[in-house]
Structure 1
Amino acid sequence: MLRRLVFVVLLLFCGLATAQVWENDFDQAMKLAADQNKPLILVFAGSDWCAPCIRLEKEIWVNASFETYAKSNYVMYKADFPRKKSNRLAGHLQKKHASLAEKYNPKGYFPLVVILRDADRVLGTTTYKKMEVDSYIEHLNSFLR
């Protein structure tokens, strides 16, 4: 019994150790990206209604290879626009995400992945693509050249 408990706790710890780190505040994320000299990946998603957003989440963002790579190479921020009442964000986050959308996603594409070097320097944009994780990482990195 104790062995099982230790095994489960170890699995949970390993899962937490590799979990994708999404910053909670856009301004802090931009500051962190500048301080660490990393690009910021800003993702516009509809987590509970957008099928390509959900596929991007499952196939790329939560993949252990991507998570490991992203921790060392990017700062990540997700501007989510859920529709279900049970998933609604706090009012200040809704306003912040709407403001970000006005600036970086005025056409309202979902998902939209924006690679930023600073608040005024968009390196590139992309969306969901049916690719292996390594290919998607190469695709994201192509905007850095």
Structure 2
Amino acid sequence: MKRLLFILFIAIATVSNAQEANWITDFDQAKKVAKKTNKPILMYFTGSDWCGPCKMLKKDFWQNPEFLKQSKDFVLLEVDVPFREDIITPEQFKKNKELQKKYNKEGAFPTLLALDANGKIKERISAYSMLRDTSGYFAFLDKARAIR
């Protein structure tokens, strides 16, 4: 009986932790989906292998069950600019650097933009502090949700 309960516990923990947001990495595809679904785009600039605040934000916000529920209201676009060359393809890296030149000229990481389906910036939030307070990001989602 104990073994059965242990297996059940592991199965439930695995399923509940497996939920992830559906991120797109191609800007043109994100715009098409946004137009089709009438949802705003959340464009997230990250340095996945070098940006400490990006790593904290991933754990505290992007993997937060409340965000995962709300993520269905948006088209999620991840723009990764890693240092390591084996994380994304050279073609994707080039596209992401072009997006950075246009949408994140300051080079701030992490940066989250809310865009309409045409790619026009409507809202912006940058940085994530060591205090690990996600309330500003959840407030950002409330503003972004109104974009159509």
TM-score computed with the length of structure 1 as normaliser:
0.82
Q: Which moved more, 1:134-143 or 1:55-64?
A: 134-143
In 2: Cα distance, 1:25 partner to 1:2 partner: 44
In 1: Cα distance, 2:77 partner to 2:30 partner: 7
Matched pairs, number: 142
How far residue 6 of structure 1 moved from its aligned partner, in angstroms, is: 4.3
Divergent runs of 4+, >6 A: none
Aligned to 1:136: 137
For the residue of structure 2 that corresponds to 1:42, the secondary structure is strand
How far residue 46 of structure 1 moved from its aligned partner, in angstroms, is: 0.8
1:53-75, Cα deviation, whole Å (9 max, x unpaired): 1221111111111111112x111
Identity over aligned pairs, percent: 30
In 1: Cα distance, 2:111 partner to 2:51 partner: 11
Partners of 1:65 and 1:133 within 8 A in 2? no
What root-mean-square deviation, in Å, do the aligned CA atoms of Structure 1 and Structure 2 show?
2.2
Aligned to 1:10: 12
Higher helix share: 1
In 1: Cα distance, 2:15 partner to 2:56 partner: 25
In 2: Cα distance, 1:68 partner to 1:49 partner: 28
Unaligned stretches of 5+ residues in structure 1: none
TM-score computed with the length of structure 2 as normaliser:
0.81
